[in-house]
Chains A and B, each alone.
Chain A
Amino acid sequence: MRVALLVSCLVDGLRPSVGAAALALLREAGCTVRVPRQQTCCGQPAWNSGDRATAQALALKVLQDFADVEAVVVPSGSCAGMVRQLPEVLGPEHPRLGEAEALAARCFEITDFLVNQCDFTPAPLGAGQTLTYHDSCAGLRELGVKSAPRTLLERAGYTLTEMTQAETCCGFGGTFCVKYPAVSVAMADEKLASARATGVPLVTGGDLGCLIHLAGREERAEAGLSFRHVLELLVPTPAPALGAGHP
């Protein structure tokens, strides 16, 4: 299958190793992967801030960057969810609405794609390691991604211990985390308490936004959890974990 990788700006800028893992895993799953060099951002910050004009301009850029592929695959539920909303961003009268609908229909969150489109089994890297999975809101509630990342982790040999608050929002919420930092951090604290209660050392998830927010809070609290994007756990030599640098 010919797919395109929508890297997402957080992965691109903050954690290129997740992009490299995404590329490696898609190739391993038998895909020919195009990585459009002109891509920047899906426009979600503008869309969620009420700036329709900017969101539309970036939506058209996404349509252009990701034309002519069978599937667009995204290592983020949040950005994949945004691509699913591109028809709404353009609006019912827009001449390129059809294109946006077609793109939205062939856009996948990467763990969902690897499991449900490729039936992929990753290398057995997880034997003896326990972790817990944070469901990011957009992946879970906009896209219905729940079992796919867990399937991949279990196929790789990891042991999952579920936290009670796996589906509760962590408080990142894009610009919310800097507009309402006190509330955002209180939400993180509840999530982290739930994660710590599992007794596992590592939290993973499919969205980097949630993970840097949680890792940053955990580190400030001088507590011991570390954090990785789920794709990092499925490739042989990942970068240091988020939060691994604390004393």
Chain B
Amino acid sequence: MSFQVHSQDFIARSRDALADAPLQSALGKLRMGLSVRRREAVAALPEFEALREEAAALRDYTLATLDRQLETFEAQVRARGGEVHWAPDAASARAIILELCQRYGAKKVLKGKSMVTEELELNEHLEAHGLRCVETDLGEYIVQLRRERPSHIVAPAIHLRKEDVAESFAAHHVGREHADRSTAEALMAEAREELRAHFLSAEVGITGANFAIAETGSTVIVTNEGNGDLTQSLPKVHIAVTGIEKVVPTLEDASTLLRVLARSATGQEASVYTTFSTGPRRPEDPDGPEAYHVVLVDNGRSAMLGTEFEAMLRCIRCGACLNHCPVYGQVGGHAYGSVYPGPMGAVLTPQLAGLDDTVHLPTASTFCGACEAVCPVKIPLPSLLRRWRQRAYDARLDGDRARWLLRLWAFFAARPRLYHPLLSAATMMLGWLAGPGGSFRRLLGGKAWTESRNFPAPEGGSFLAGLQGEEFAPTPRKARSR
């Protein structure tokens, strides 16, 4: 697989993230922002829970009939004058897109926000072949200037503060020595001016697709800035790149998913722009691209069908699981070392990159369940994470020490005659050492706990070892106080 990850270093990266004050200040705003907005949007729509059920069932139906939906989609795109390209893996997707750019003599390519092209590392590939790629989503644009990766699937620059953005603009924008960069509005206006020249000079626009509608052969993007619309309508060629699982049967189905998507992602009832692209410009159309291509990317997705991870293919990339994940909220997206971070990324990344290098991702979760509780298509994320842990355990990818301790504990837990006296003796000793209400600052072998926490001492002795009898009669309070 060509999917690049740096997830082996999760522990070091997460420690760096926790010590990074600007990042922590940016993440603090995320924790207080998007989840509150989602809660308000959901509270305002009484049928939201029913919609989640409907959306999950719709995604399952689509996956069960995926071959048919994709064939219908392809036929409809062709019928409207577009072309469909099938990419079994990342390398073939990159080759197809490069070939298309070359076919149309492109020198400059506009990019709409798209996670699948991040997954493909498309910009690097096109630039290596002499093309200039310009990200047009504000967040992606900022991240591209900084030569970083998006840290969130919906809000790519969520790890940055306004000051960081001002610094990047100052370093990269030529001839703007005296620009006012003190407000978000000023920064946005500056980016808009910089991007305008690109919009008018690029030959190809590449976007992702939030949905691909089989019935109509349309691709759909939802954005809040409108730059995605310019990307797909101004250049003479539009290439929509999307995962094969993003297809939906009908326009009606797309609207069902749209109702849960924006509310889950940003707490909006609908995104500012929801744009449908259907084929190239017709003679009577006032604008639009002369050529329309859709690249359908598999890259490990079809291998999930029919497996215990199939439910992950329901994902509509809303980012709600990231916004509500307390681990993501502390360490941010870059710590995960994958373009797909947070709970959805921790399930998807091992599938795309293999478990050997990504074993931390399913492990670095408390199973708190906040992700599953907000997922608009009800993906049982903790349960899927646990299945990766089972595979890691079976393949002996978890640490030897953890494994040995687990075995030791299991040995005793299965043998109550040993377990109870030992537990009682050990807790008696610890309780006596610490004294009533005491705690330990250090424990032999317990550094992982005590490096930053005290260990409250056991009271001393175990409950079961000290209990007389096994069956106890009721003692209603009135009878007792008489």
Binding site for B on A (CB under 8 A): 7, 9, 11-20, 23-24, 27-41, 43, 45-52, 54, 57-58, 61, 88, 123, 137-138, 141-142, 168-169, 171-188, 190, 212-213, 215-217, 219-220, 239-246
Contact = CB atoms under 8 A, between A and B. Distances in A.
B284 interface: no
Contacts of A9: 413, 423
Contacts of A57: 410, 414
Interface stretch (B1-9, B102-110, B223-231, B358-366): B358-366
A168 to B, nearest CB: 6
A73 to B, nearest CB: 13
Contact of B453 (A31, A40, A217): A217
A245 B414 contact: no
B15 A47 contact: no
A40 B439 contact: no
A181 B11 CA distance: 9
A32 B471 contact: yes
A173 B365 contact: yes
B392 interface: yes
B306 interface: no
B367 A173 contact: yes
Given A12-B462, A137-B368, A217 B452 contact: yes
B463 A19 contact: yes
B366 A35 contact: no
Contacts of A242: 456
A138 B423 CA distance: 25
B467 interface: yes
B451 interface: yes
A51 B472 contact: no
A137 B15 contact: no
B435 to A, nearest CB: 7
Given A38-B416, A185-B452, A176 B386 contact: no
Contacts of A241: 437
B282 interface: no
A182 B416 contact: no
B364 to A, nearest CB: 6
A8 B415 CA distance: 16
16 contacts: A23-B472, A28-B477, A30-B476, A39-B416, A40-B413, A40-B419, A41-B409, A45-B406, A49-B398, A51-B393, A52-B393, A141-B370, A216-B456, A220-B454, A240-B436, A245-B435
Given A39-B464, A50-B394, A34 B471 contact: yes
A51 B456 contact: no
Nearest to A43: B413
Given A14-B458, A49-B402, A169-B326, A186 B18 contact: yes
Which 10 pairs show the lowest CB-CB distances between chains A and B?
A173-B366, A50-B393, A50-B389, A245-B437, A19-B463, A240-B437, A16-B463, A169-B368, A216-B453, A141-B369
Interface string B1-32: 00000000001001100100000000000010
A246 B464 CA distance: 28
B45 interface: no
Contact of A141 (B18, B368, B437): B368
A14 B14 contact: no
Contacts of A47: 386
Contacts of A183: 14, 18, 327, 330-331, 364
Contacts of B391: 50
A92 to B, nearest CB: 12
A186 B410 CA distance: 30
B449 A46 contact: no
A206 B471 CA distance: 24
Chain A CB within 10 A, most for which of B366, B388, B448, B475: B366
A241 B373 CA distance: 33
B471 A33 contact: yes
Contact of A219 (B369, B435, B439): B439
Given A49-B393, A58-B410, A220-B453, A32 B18 contact: no
A244 B474 contact: no
A179 B364 CA distance: 8
A181 to B, nearest CB: 5
A216 B326 contact: no
Interface string B426-450: 1100000011111101000000110
B330 A186 contact: yes
A19 B477 CA distance: 19
A237 to B, nearest CB: 13
Contacts of A46: 406, 410
Contacts of B326: 168-169, 171, 187, 190
B366 A169 contact: yes
Contacts of B31: 190
A40 B31 CA distance: 39
A29 to B, nearest CB: 8
Chain B CB within 10 A, most for which of A20, A45, A183: A183
B474 A13 contact: no
Nearest to B383: A88
B470 interface: yes
A61 to B, nearest CB: 7
Contacts of A137: 366-370
B436 A245 contact: yes
A37 B435 CA distance: 27
A184 B451 CA distance: 12
Contact of A15 (B327, B459, B471): B459
